[in-house]
């Protein structure tokens, strides 16, 4: 008798081989414009439906039972068979050489089967949820979602991080020590205690990444310790070349579209049509001239919610949101609405167009109801100050300004590749805020 091999298992094996054979993305990116509102966040607290949970970054401690949850919408309004796969990356977010069995507990190919249909919305959609399984190793991962029927058709990719604190990490944030930058920049000093953790060459073995406001376009890498206290097993990072400083930026602008029955905060007008709703945000102006103004924000993030029912996942509608920035046209430059809703990418979705009659830039972006933070970025005009530790692709200073008083969140990541290991692991993580007011 011939051995029995189920057809569905053969199909899954062939699918995984085809997916593995292609080069998978390792960045936060949506590749199809019908996929919207991709959220990946740790489920924390007593109320798993609390929309504020999505404000936390997808970074979890493997020593706890915290689980990550993926949510996204498909605006085709048709059921589609989505599948997920995980990619392990090194500290630089390049795919590692690890095989799937080295970092996953299960077969690395997961169906996404939890879905709901939108209710009472003018723009119909399917809402999907997927609990992220636990990974074996601490480090960088990318969740890739693709078409089950055509594995080469990738819909989106989303980064997340897991860690185990194996070395001590203490950090502080202050305004920059340089007198020329003390009113514009913020400086992160920190030290690492590696007592009891084997490092062959303490000055060389660790890879440090500092991130501002959970933005992968705002990171500092390549830092070296300024002092090694060998007898105390402590590495000090207090850099005199100011490679550990970030531009403070400004508090993020925000608006509230949780209801269309009345105007929310910073909403000038709402148009309600049979096929869609349109919200016009109050016209904005340049904030780089003048004094710093203290306001509360989400540091560029957003929350999905609807006031009438608080069931934002399936009852929040998609609204055409109109942004207006009043300023003269910039020669040889492009202006963008920038926010976490687009993973801080500057592309066709959030590019603005200059309207001569209004003497302003405008953009129309479909966004799900909620409370959003955003700012404006310019490409084509370099930032006023070159940052030796950063690779800034856009100029936010021109419109928003830089102020050292700005409230910001920072994260410090410490990576190490243990002896005989084949990939970088995250051995310490610290999250801290500057000028917190709540």
Same domain, 172 and 153: no
Question: How distant, in Å, are the alpha carbons of 86, 94, 298, 307, 371 from that of 128?
Answer: 18, 28, 25, 21, 21
Residue 131 lies in a domain: yes
Residue 132 lies in a domain: yes
Say yes or no to pLDDT of 388 above 60.
no
State the average pLDDT over residues 386-414: 87
Residue 148 lies in a domain: yes
Same domain, 150 and 185: no
Identify the CATH number of the domain in which residue 33 sits.
Answer: 2.60.40
CB 245 within 8 A of CB 185: yes
Evaluate if pTM is beyond 0.85: yes
Say yes or no to pLDDT of 14 above 70.
no
pLDDT of residue 10: 43
Residue 389 lies in a domain: no
% of the chain exceeding 70 in pLDDT: 93
- 167-218 per-position pLDDT tens digit: 999 999 999 988 888 999 999 999 999 999 999 999 999 999 999 999 999 9
Residue 395 lies in a domain: no
Domain that holds residue 64: 7-163
Rounded distance, CA 307 to CA 219, Å? 35
Same domain, 119 and 181: no
Residue 20 lies in a domain: yes
- 100-150 per-position pLDDT tens digit: 999 999 999 999 999 999 999 999 999 999 999 999 999 999 999 999 999
pLDDT of residue 384: 76
pLDDT of residue 11: 42
* CA end-to-end span of the chain: 71
Rounded distance, CA 389 to CA 225, Å? 14
Same domain, 123 and 88: yes
pLDDT of residue 80: 93
Same domain, 235 and 369: no
Residue 396 lies in a domain: no
Rounded distance, CA 308 to CA 311, Å? 8
Residue 238 lies in a domain: yes
Say yes or no to pLDDT of 392 above 90.
no
How many structural domains comprise the chain?
A: 3
> Binning pLDDT at 50, 70 and 90, where does residue 239 land?
confident
């Amino acid at each position: 008798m011939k051995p029995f091999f189920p057809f569905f298992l053969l199909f899954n094996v062939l699918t995984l081989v085809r997916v593995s054979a292609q080069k998978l993305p390792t960045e936060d990116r949506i590749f199809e414009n019908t996929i919207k509102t991709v959220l990946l966040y740790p489920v924390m607290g007593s109320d798993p439906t609390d929309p504020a949970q999505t404000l936390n970054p997808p970074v979890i401690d493997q020593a706890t039972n915290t689980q990550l949850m993926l949510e996204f919408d498909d605006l085709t309004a048709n059921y589609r068979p989505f599948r997920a796969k995980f990619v392990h990356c090194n500290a630089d977010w390049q795919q590692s050489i690890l095989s799937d069995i080295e970092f996953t507990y299960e077969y690395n190919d997961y169906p996404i089967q939890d879905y709901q249909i939108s209710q009472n919305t003018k723009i119909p959609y399917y809402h999907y949820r997927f609990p992220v399984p636990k990974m074996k190793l601490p480090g960088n991962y990318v969740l890739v979602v693709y078409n089950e029927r055509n594995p080469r058709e990738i819909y989106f990719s989303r980064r997340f991080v897991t860690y185990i604190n194996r070395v001590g990490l203490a950090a502080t944030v202050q305004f920059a020590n340089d007198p020329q930058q003390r009113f514009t920049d913020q400086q992160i000093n920190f030290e690492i205690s590696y007592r009891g953790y084997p490092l062959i060459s303490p000055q060389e073995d660790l890879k440090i990444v500092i991130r501002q406001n959970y933005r992968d376009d705002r990171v500092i890498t390549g830092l070296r310790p300024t002092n090694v206290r060998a007898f105390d097993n402590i590495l000090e990072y207090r850099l005199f070349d100011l490679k550990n400083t970030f531009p403070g930026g400004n508090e993020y602008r925000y608006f509230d579209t949780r209801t269309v029955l009345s105007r929310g905060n910073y909403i000038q007008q709402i148009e309600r049509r049979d096929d869609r709703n349109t919200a016009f945000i109050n016209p904005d102006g340049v904030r780089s001239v003048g004094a710093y103004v203290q306001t509360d924000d989400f540091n560029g993030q957003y929350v999905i919610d609807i006031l009438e029912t608080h069931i934002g996942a399936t009852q929040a509608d998609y609204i055409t949101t109109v942004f207006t920035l009043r300023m003269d046209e910039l020669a040889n430059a492009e202006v963008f609405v920038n926010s976490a809703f687009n993973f801080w990418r500057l592309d066709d979705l959030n590019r603005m167009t200059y309207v001569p009659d209004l003497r302003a830039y405008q953009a129309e972006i479909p966004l799900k109801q909620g409370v959003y933070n955003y700012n404006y970025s310019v490409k084509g005009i370099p930032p006023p100050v070159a940052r030796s530790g950063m690779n800034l692709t856009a100029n936010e200073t021109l419109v928003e300004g830089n102020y050292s008083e700005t409230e910001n969140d920072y994260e410090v990541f410490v990576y190490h590749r243990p002896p005989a290991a084949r990939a970088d692991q995250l051995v310490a993580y610290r999250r801290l805020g500057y000028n917190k007011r709540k």
